[in-house]
Amino acid sequence: MNNFLLVLIIFPFTYTQHALAHDITVSSGIETVKVSNVKFGSDRHDQDGTVTFDVTNLTDREIIAWKGSFVCKDAFGDEALSLNLKDSSANIKPGQSEISGFAANMFSETTSFLKNNDANNFDCGFTELKVAQ
């Protein structure tokens, strides 16, 4: 006969909601960040299309979050890719950069675009941007 001993340890759990450590200001304008090092590709399983890029904070305050329209234009200036992106926990210090990106569902047209094009042939960046600082 097998004897099992079950030990249940219960830790007390307390949830405390903290107030924000600083005031948050939401502003619009693409002049608050710089987009660089844009790369198109696919995920490690070669299924989903991906785009990655660096976001550099050009302001003197930390960027807590951002959201905006990320657009890539081809050599003729035509819009080839448009994504609405959001980073709710960016936390980019002044003058610092963060790698950001997006993965498209493997069945979308966006995946085909990202897997079959070279980002160096496109001018990519934000056309609309809101930043929380």
CATH of the domain at 35: 2.60.40
**Residue whose C-alpha is closest to residue 34's, from 53, 19, 49:** 53
Q: Is residue 123 part of a domain?
A: yes
Q: Is residue 8 part of a domain?
A: no
Q: Is residue 1 part of a domain?
A: no
Q: Is residue 114 part of a domain?
A: yes
Residue 89 belongs to what domain range? 30-132
DSSP tally for the chain: helices H, then strands E: 1, 7
Cα 26 from Cα 110, distance rounded (Å)? 30
The values of phi and psi at residue 32, to 5°, are -85, -15
**31 and 84 in contact (C-beta within 8 Å)?**
no
Write out pLDDT tens, residues 73-130: 999 999 999 999 999 999 999 999 999 999 998 888 898 899 999 999 999 999 999 9
The model's pTM: 0.76
Q: Is residue 94 part of a domain?
A: yes
**55 and 35 in contact (C-beta within 8 Å)?**
yes
> What's the number of domains the chain is made of?
1
